[in-house]
């Protein structure tokens, strides 16, 4: 990781909304449960992910030094389904580095989070965002952004053409669930800000709680599916 680059995760709000709803349910119903989560790359990467090990460990060190700020807790507490005792729990929460480890297994990157599920379940989205961004930093950044912006503009044009068609019986709306597979945090923010500004009649929210707060969008997420034990990445 270049010393000029800021850490991949700078706020604990930058995770999917469903992690908070499941986290709250786990705290209230099963605080004693132990679990293990393992990172899995489902595709063949362009280079061995083991090469990212040192950078991943530095990012995990940084993640485990973060805590929720007062203004972040105030935002979460303002969501109608978040309970005050869960906010109080988050007020004193900090990820424990002892519960997560990363190591090289030949060319493969192994990341395992093991411990109380009310603690280790939260690692998932942060780990995926970290590994994805570190992975993509080794590619031509300028070319990737050029291609990404071209594709984004093409999608905007397609949706503007769609708006000129006869109205459907049911409204068309879409939401963002791209945090775990994003190219980078900066690009994710650019895409979501562009969609919100250019297509507010169609684009209605994001699962990324930090971007929802910062951009005045609805935080949205699916519920009750945090029982798996794999943290999966698609390259």
CB 215 within 8 A of CB 13: no
Cα separation, 65 vs 111, in Å, equals 18
Q: What is the pTM of this model?
A: 0.90
3-state secondary structure of 223: coil
Cα separation, 156 vs 148, in Å, equals 12
Whether residue 58 is found in the same domain as residue 82: yes
Overall domain count for the chain: 2
How confident is the chain (235 residues) per 10-residue block, as mean pLDDT?
73 96 93 94 93 98 98 97 96 98 96 96 96 96 97 96 86 92 96 97 96 96 56 46
Q: How confident is the model at residue 223, as a pLDDT?
A: 60
DSSP structural state of residue 36 = E
Q: What digits encode the pLDDT tens for the residues 107-153?
A: 999 999 999 999 999 999 999 999 999 999 999 999 999 999 999 99
Q: How confident is the model at residue 45, as a pLDDT?
A: 94
Whether residue 224 is found in the same domain as residue 182: no
CB 1 within 8 A of CB 55: yes
Range of the domain at 168: 141-215
Q: Which helix (H) or strand (E) holds 49?
A: none
Whether residue 206 is found in the same domain as residue 223: no
93: left (phi over 0), alpha (psi -120 to 50) or beta: beta
């Amino acid at each position: 990781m270049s010393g000029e680059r800021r850490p991949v995760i700078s706020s604990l709000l930058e995770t999917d909304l469903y992690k908070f709803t499941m986290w709250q349910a786990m705290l209230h119903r099963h605080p004693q449960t132990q679990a293990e989560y393992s990172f899995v790359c489902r595709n063949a990467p362009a280079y061995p992910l083991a090469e990212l090990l040192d950078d991943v460990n530095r990012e995990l060190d940084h993640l485990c030094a973060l805590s929720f700020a007062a203004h972040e807790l105030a935002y979460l507490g303002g969501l109608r389904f978040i309970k005050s005792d869960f906010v109080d729990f988050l007020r004193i929460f900090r990820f424990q580095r002892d519960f997560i480890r990363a190591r090289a297994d030949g060319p493969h990157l192994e990341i395992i989070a093991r411990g109380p599920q009310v603690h280790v379940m939260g690692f998932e989205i942060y780990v995926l965002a970290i590994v994805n961004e570190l992975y993509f930093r080794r590619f031509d950044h300028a070319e990737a952004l050029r291609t990404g912006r071209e594709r984004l503009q093409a999608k905007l044009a397609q949706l503007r053409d769609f708006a000129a068609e006869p109205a459907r019986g049911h409204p068309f709306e879409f939401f963002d669930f791209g945090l775990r597979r994003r190219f980078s945090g900066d690009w994710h923010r650019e895409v979501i800000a562009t969609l919100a500004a250019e297509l507010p009649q169609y684009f209605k929210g994001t699962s990324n709680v930090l971007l929802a707060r910062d951009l005045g969008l609805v935080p949205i997420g699916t519920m009750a599916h945090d029982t798996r034990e794999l943290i999966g990445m698609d390259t």
